[in-house]
Amino acid sequence: MGFAMKRVYDAPEASDGYRVLVDRLWPRGVKKERAELDEWAKDAAPSPELRAEWHHHRERFDEFAARYRDELDASPAASALLETGREHDRVTLVFAARDEQVNHVSVLLAWLADHGASVEA
């Protein structure tokens, strides 16, 4: 099936498949047991510097996305996610951002798709 994305605050479902948290920081108010994660790929998230800069300038999402894609190109963690996608029928990338459309995971999914992964819209 491929990769999908879901907020960590939404209830886990069996259809999520292999669940990977792709945030650098642990989500507020979420207990590890409730998250039902298979992996925490914090190094696949944007660098602390890029994340902090973007949170202060949300209107520059396109610039953030380009810089994050550059980080992903050089990231062993991003390459490992591609391999995880080959090992599992479905991988759900779990995140804490409020905005379900404009966030780092949407950039990560596009990067994965550009590298041959199947991605659900």
How many residues are there in the chain? 121
Q: Helix 76-87 to helix 104-114 angle, to the nearest 10 degrees?
A: 70
Give the per-residue pLDDT at 57.
72
Mean pLDDT of 109-121: 93
The set of residues, in sequence order, having a beta carbon less than 8 Å from that of 119 and lying 6+ positions away, is 2, 3, 4, 109, 110, 112, 113
Q: What letter does residue 117 receive in the DSSP assignment? A: -
**Structure token pair of residue 40:** 């925490």
Q: How far is CA 118 from CA 77, 83, 105, in A?
A: 18, 12, 15
pLDDT-derived band of residue 1, with 50, 70 and 90 as boundaries?
low
Strand 18-21 relative to strand 39-40, pairing: parallel
Contact (CB, 8 A) for 97 and 105: yes
Give the per-residue pLDDT at 56.
66
pTM: 0.93
- Cα–Cα–Cα angle for 51, 47, 67, rounded to 5 degrees: 75
